Amino acid sequence: MEINHYEFKYSEFGNTIGVHINLRGFDILRFNNISKGTAFTIDERRKLKLSGFLPPRVKSLEDQVKSSLKIIEEKKNDIEKFIYIRSLYDRNVVLAHAVIASNVTKFLPIIYTPTVGLACQQYSSMFRQANGIHLYPGNINYAGYILGHYTDPDIGIAVVTDNQGILGIGDQGAGGIPICLGKLMLYTQGAGIAPWHGLPVSLDVGTDNEELLNDPDYLGWRHKRLKGEEYYAFIEKFVKAFKKNFPHAVCQWEDFSKQTAFNIRDKYLDELISFNDDIQGTGAIALAGILAAMKAKKEKMTDQIYLIHGAGAGGIGIAEQIETELVEQGMERKDAIDRIFTLDSKGLVTTDRELEPYKVKLAKDPQNFAWLNTKEDNTILNVIKNEKVTVLIGTSGQHGYFTKQIVQAVGENSDRPVILPLSNPTTKAEAIPKDIFEWTDGKALVATGSPFEPVNYKGKDYRIGQMNNAFVFPGIGLGIIASGATKVLPVFFSAAAHAVAEFVSQQDIENGILCPPLDQLKQVSLEVAKRVGAEAIKANVTQKGCAFAKFKHNNDPERLNTLVDKIRWTPRYFDEI
């Protein structure tokens, strides 16, 4: 490989152990993947001609982390903390990740949801430095050239968004790329995928957000969104360019909206190593929480009735995953679908309406329900009462929609109702955990999509489990990379869900907590990766080794586990430069 700026050195297992720098002087400090800042030793400064470009004191990484944490604490709010961490990342990747790793529970809500939603909304006004790839109609015909000249050629994971379905706040035009940047940070924090193996991509096909179109500071392509054939032709050009440049990389589709999300996921399942986290990742983490809830209830999933309020990508993704699990547990597919109800803004999704294709599979024939005679009968409360719903899931983004009456109605159908208000960010949650506890006399099993403080109920504090996709997608990505999987199979997400559920301790189960704590993110991701890799081997869809590693697993699960253990990167400075 020709060395333009620097070349990473990898161990037998594919983890980064050093870097060969073909630069000298101040230019080295411009590259965030290799810069140590004030941690360059005296010998390194002499060797790399950095003497005089840095103040005399040499600080350790630990000292740098302490200094950075002090600065962060002085910031007035989370968006300022987000800006500081991103600017730190732009200067020094290792230091930024070391800061996050010092307290991932504290920093995950800052680098990702809910704070990243604000970063998307303020993207143009707070722009400081270019990150990732921005493709739009003016350059999409040159996508192959652009991707081929990206700084880091050894891409393992790309997070790709068209910016339309951002975190409950909708169309953000060019502003969606902070989502990609945040997800890639979580790939590093959870799965140990080195930052230089990640690629953030914004597919800027315009925006229908009038506020952005009228904003003089807006940085995106100032046109209405491409639609129909024009839109899908744009996507096709990207896919061809991506596959040509990164044939072994995983493409994670992110925050595409509703029908578009399903169309693109399904079209490219076999053409790319790809998945949609909003559909499949959300389905997996929700299933993990339900599996944990069944342990707490001491009941079977096949005995429950499920109601999902919010029939978008996340809601239907959850329904698909529940259906898959019920079938795996022995139910006929038709019987499984009969137990899953979906609601959208018009009520229960029924076959007598004109529906988007992705909703059709779960639509109910209204003639099968004696209680459903008029439009006025089609309410969430009637579904809960008449169909005896025991698991209520919210993905609608409608804050406070799960009222006391609705929650208590589910409680009448089960001694331990499962209530999962999963909408992000926190301000979109369908119910507040504290209210759910009070409305059900503490009997409800609760988990949320956004972080909430522990609930004190009758003198005891209960941690609220966060059904965060971060428990799922980093490990799935690592499992695919390590195994050399050539496609992403539905069973990967089932395996991930069971792995996450098994990380919920018995004590947490007894206290009704349905998710592991975020400080176990690395351990959970590691187990998810091993389960996913094992399923890839079992399905015979692997290349017998990671693209970055000389070590080959040869379809031996034990060798694969060794590779997964050792491929992971941790934020520390290279000894070898």
DSSP track, 239-271:
HHHHHHH-TT-EEEEES--HHHHHHHHHHTTTT
Q: Beta-carbon neighbour count of residue 401 at 10 Å?
A: 18
Length of the chain: 577
**Sheet of strand 198-203, all strands in order from the earlier edge strand to the far edge:** 133-135, 198-203, 157-161, 250-254, 273-276
Q: Beta-carbon neighbour count of residue 65 at 10 Å?
A: 19
**Cα–Cα–Cα angle for 151, 154, 158, rounded to 5 degrees:** 85
Q: Beta-carbon neighbour count of residue 306 at 10 Å?
A: 24
Helix, strand, coil % in the chain, rounded to nearest 5: 45, 10, 40
CA distance 94 to 195: 9
Mapping DSSP onto H, E and C, the string for 539-573 reads CCCCCCECCCCCCECCCCHHHHHHHHHHHCCCCCC
| Element (DSSP H or E) covering residue 420 | strand 418-421
Q: Reply yes or no on whether 538 is catalytic.
A: no
Q: Reply yes or no on whether 187 is catalytic.
A: no
- Residue of 36, 81, 183, 243 marked active site: 183
CA distance 405 to 399: 15
Strand, coil or helix: what is 396? coil
State the angle between helix axes of 78-91 and 177-186 in degrees (0 to 180), rounded to the nearest 10. 70
CA distance 363 to 340: 9
DSSP track, 16-36:
EEEEEE---THHHHT-TTT--
| Element (DSSP H or E) covering residue 309 | strand 306-309
Residues 422/448, Cβ–Cβ less than 8 Å: yes
- Residue of 84, 112, 268, 573 marked active site: 112
DSSP track, 99-122:
HHHTTHHHHHHHHSTTHHHHHHHT
Beta-carbon contacts of 461 under 8 Å, excluding residues fewer than 6 positions away, are 454, 455
Helices (H), 356-448: 357-360, 380-387, 404-411, 433-439
Which tokens belong to 559? 């060798």
Residues assigned a catalytic role: 112, 183
